Amino acid sequence: MKIYTKTGDDGCTSTFSGERVPKTDQRIEAVGTVDELNSLLGVAMCHAQSECGEIVEMLTSVQHELFSLGADISLMSLKDMSRVKAPHITFDHVAELERKIDAVSSRLVEQKSFLLPNGTPTACSLHLARTVARRAERDVLRLGSVYSFDPCVLQYLNRLSDLLYVLARLANKETVTEQQPIYRYMK
């Protein structure tokens, strides 16, 4: 299989259902944001291998789920999604993110003010990924004015940004010593 197909040379691409649309289509923009998010998770996981290995395990399943999320976004224009065989984001995925958030949060001190998004390379990568997850959420909300979509898509992105936030805090907690505080609370 060649990496180049030349089918996008006219500025169009195919959705998951095979529909040809301009590369500037809002669905393609949103899928691109999810792809960017997935790549940033890869960077965070690369850093986490040496800093906080358990984060890699938590994010591996998320990377797979982001492909399903991208398919859900790509298929938003279809009236009958049941005819397309593809994995979809479900409430079970949202609930699993909530379980992970609760497990990580239970290990952190209570937060009493805003945190600066800095710290270790893992934490910084996770904070950057979190902001891209929020952008993906906004992209999906904009699509909602044109297409209907399963609320799980939006819920998943919202919980994912929360998970990335607590994982960034965990990365800093696990790596930073008290003699070397890297992040601090804003006053």
pLDDT value at 182 more than 60: no
Whole-structure pTM value: 0.87
How does residue 178 score in pLDDT terms, banded at 50, 70 and 90?
A: very low
Quick check: is 46 in a domain? yes
CATH assignment at residue 163: 1.20.1200.10
User: Domain for residue 182, yes or no?
Assistant: no
Query: Is residue 4 a part of any domain in this protein?
Result: no
| Predicted pLDDT of residue 184 | 55
Among 123, 139, 155, 114, smallest CA distance to 48 is for 123
pLDDT, tens digit, for every residue of 38-59? 999 999 999 998 877 789 999 9
User: What gap in Å lies between CA 109 and CA 113, rounded to an integer?
Assistant: 12
Average pLDDT score over residue span 115-122: 89
Phi-psi region of 149 (alpha: psi -120 to 50; beta: other; left: phi over 0): beta
What mean pLDDT, rounded, does the chain reach? 88
Per the domain annotation, does 7 fall within a domain? no
Q: DSSP letters along the chain, please? A: --S--STTTTSEEE-TTS-EEETTSHHHHHHHHHHHHHHHHHHHHHHHHHH-THHHHHHHHHHHHHHHHHHHHHTTT-S-GGGS------HHHHHHHHHHHHHHHTTSPPP-SPBPS-SSHHHHHHHHHHHHHHHHHHHHHHHTTTS---HHHHHHHHHHHHHHHHHHHHHHHHH--TTS----B--
CA distance 69 to 87: 9
The confidence score (pLDDT) of residue 81 equals: 59
Domain that holds residue 133: 12-175
> How many domains are contained in the chain?
1
Quick one: tokens of 109?
């001190």
Domain membership of residue 184 (yes or no) is: no
